[in-house]
Amino acid sequence: MQIDGSLSGNWPVGYDAIRRGGSALPALNSLPPPGSPVTTPHHPRYLRQQVLDALSDTPVVCILGPRQVGKTTLARLLQPERTYVSFDDATLLAAARYDPAGFVAGLPEQVILDEVQRVPELLPIIKLSVDNDRRPGRFILTGSANLLLLPGVQESLAGRMEVIYLNPLSEQEKHHSRHSLLESLLSGQLRPAISGLQPPVAGVAEAVVRGGYPEPNTRTEPRARQWFRQYLSAIIQRDVQDIANIRDGDELLRLLQLIALRTGNLINVSNLAQDIGLQRDTIGRYLTVLERLFLIRTLPAWHRNAAKRLIKAPKIHIVDSGLGCALANLKAADWPRPDNAFGGMLESFVVQQLICQAGWVDNELRFSHYRDKDQLEVDLVIEQDDRLWGVEVKKAASVQSKDGRGLARLAEQAGPSWQGGILLYTGTNTLPLADIPSAFAVPMDQLWNKDIR
């Protein structure tokens, strides 16, 4: 098959526009010029500079993350002149699967390939193309499934591709805040700030229920729940089938709903299998699929002995609290309920916010959780080289001495690696925690507040 001057063979309609450097899909309207602030749809994406840096020296830049978080929008707004190819388009998907080598050979010099997990056959061909022409910034790939978990991908594109993970919008991005609580923690900038008795921090329940997907953030709470239902239906019908041979999508959806109800807990595959009525190996396979689709994440257990981390139980979290609340039928009005229904979801929300901030503060940070034989635990352990910090999450608006016991035990176990910790709560004062070095109770809204108290 020849791809020069004219097409030969049975290429689907629309491919000719791509090889000429155009797009088979309508262009985005009102694209701002390069260098303008990037919004999705009205919020800055703080990973913008990381993408530009990668394009300046790496042949393939891959933006991975859940569907509908703004991967395509970010790529197209950064470089609107690039040819855009979406494999959600059936015609283009068929063309790429029909002859992957011919498809890649016919692409222009710089291109965006959207939802590339639908055509994994392209990846070894892209490797060969890059080996012949290693100019930086040739390919922007986006994917709604984790390509690095596909067999052979890491090996085939090692040294040729940089992966950037785009999460749902963080509260820091939604509030356009330049203040990063994570950066303040790592740099030792936190200080006591006491303003007296005040009402609890406002807006926490609403932030948890909204989550970070751009579209439901523009809707009322009932309409947002409807969006989440349609979103999950589309993923089960399309994306799951692209990456796994799962015949019963309803089983997968029931498992995800159960995880939402138990988010922030240790993984117990046997209990999940018993409650849903499936085999352990089936549950294990489903968990892998949900993690590949960026719907859940697992946090390994921290231990001073790295080998023991591999045998201690990880925690499981729903990635986006808005999706989790829709699955668990939690509404902002349920926040005062005495059964602490929001406890696990609030923990998952905080974990997500800090992992998001790590994307632009230090993307090499390592995250885990701590739990010992005495049931003392810390919700999030953050490591940078040989330094360590702890984060505990409380829904309460006041702090008691017992609330810091997990952080105190972690500080003791970490020894000289301990750098400090925070206990996030819904009060309004930043308070030192007694007998724990460099540890503070910090208001929850410092995750997004524009002003450091």
Per-residue pLDDT tens over the stretch 90-104: 999 999 999 999 999
For residues 69-76, give the mean pLDDT: 95
Q: What is the pLDDT of residues 297-343, one digit of tens each?
A: 999 999 877 656 555 899 999 999 999 999 999 999 999 987 777 99
Strands laid side by side in the 296-299 sheet: 265-266, 315-318, 296-299
Do 365 and 316 have their domain in common? Answer: yes
Task: State the chain's mean pLDDT as an integer.
Answer: 87
Tens digits of residue pLDDT in 41-54:
578 999 999 999 99
Q: Are residues 76 and 177 in the same domain?
A: no
Q: Which is nearest to 140 in space by CA: 64, 63, 65?
A: 63
Q: What is the 3-state secondary structure (H, E, C) of 366-416?
A: EEEEEECCCCCEEEEEEEECCEEEEEEECCCCCCCHHHHHHHHHHHHHHHH
CA distances from 37 to 192, 249, 429 (A): 34, 39, 34
* DSSP assignment letter at 338: T
Distance spanning both ends of the chain, measured CA to CA? 65
- pLDDT at position 311 is 58
Q: How many angstroms separate the CA atoms of 391 and 412, rounded? A: 15
d(CA 249, CA 256): 11
Domains held by the chain: number: 2
Angle, helix 249-261 to helix 269-276, in steps of 10 degrees: 120
Q: Which band of pLDDT confidence, cut at 50, 70 and 90, is reported for residue 34?
A: very low
Residue 315 lies in a domain: yes
Task: Judge if 122 and 184 occupy the same domain.
Answer: no
CA atoms within 13 A on the CB side of 411: 18
183 in any annotated domain = yes
Instruction: Note whether 358 and 325 are same-domain residues.
Output: yes
Per-residue pLDDT tens for 354-383?
999 999 999 899 999 999 888 899 999 999
Residue 35: band (very low, low, confident or very high) from pLDDT cuts 50, 70, 90: very low
184, HSE (Cβ side, Cα atoms, 13 Å): 22
Q: What is the pTM of this model?
A: 0.88
Residue 428 is assigned to a structural domain of this protein: yes
| Residue at 388 is within a domain | yes
212 and 353 together in one domain: yes
Burial string for 148-187 (b: 16+ CB within 10 Å, else e) reads eebeebeebbeebbbbbbbbbbbbbbbbebeebbbebbbe
SS3 percent helix, strand, coil of the chain, rounded to 5, is 40, 15, 40
pLDDT tens profile 207-241: 999 999 999 999 999 999 999 999 999 998 888 87
Rounded Cα–Cα distance for residues 203 and 188 (Å): 27
Please tell me whether residues 27 and 160 are part of one structural domain: yes
Distance CA 46, CA 203 (A): 22
Neighbouring-strand partners of residue 389: 382, 420
Stretch 12-34: mean pLDDT, rounded? 40
Same domain flag for 158 and 207: no
Out of 165, 183, 215, pick the residue that ends a domain. Answer: 165
Residues 99, 212 share a domain: no
How many Å apart are CA 210 and CA 335, to the nearest integer? 13
pLDDT of 424 > 70? The answer is yes
Domain membership of residue 75 (yes or no) is yes
Same domain? For 128 and 203 the reply is no
pLDDT number for residue 147: 75
Based on the domain organization, do 136 and 236 belong to the same domain? no
For residue 41, give both structure tokens.
């749809």
Using CA atoms, how far apart are residues 133 and 111, in angstroms rounded to an integer? 14
Tell me if the bond preceding 41 is cis, omega within 30° of 0: yes
For residues 225 and 361, state if they share a domain: yes
Name the DSSP class of 332: G
Cα 183–chain centre separation: 19
For 147-156, 326-335, 395-404, which range has the lowest pLDDT when averaged over its residues? 147-156
Q: Is residue 453 part of a domain?
A: no
- The greatest distance separating any two alpha carbons of the chain, rounded to the nearest whole angstrom, comes to 76
Residue located via tokens 């995880």: 259
Choose one of 165, 181, 205: the last residue of a domain: 165
The pLDDT value recorded for residue 174 is 96
Angle at 61 between CA 80 and CA 154, to 5 degrees: 155
Q: What is the mean pLDDT of residues 13-19?
A: 42
Q: Cα–Cα distance between 376 and 52 in angstroms, integer? A: 43
Q: Are residues 82 and 206 in the same domain?
A: no
Residue type for position 71: K
Structure tokens at 447: 């995750």
Q: What is the mean pLDDT of residues 394-409?
A: 94
Distance set, CA 435 to CA 308, 322, 381, 428 (Å): 28, 36, 19, 21
Angle (CA) 210-353-66 rounded to 5° is 70
Q: Is residue 452 part of a domain?
A: no
Choose one of 136, 165, 194: the last residue of a domain: 165
Range of the domain at 155: 3-165
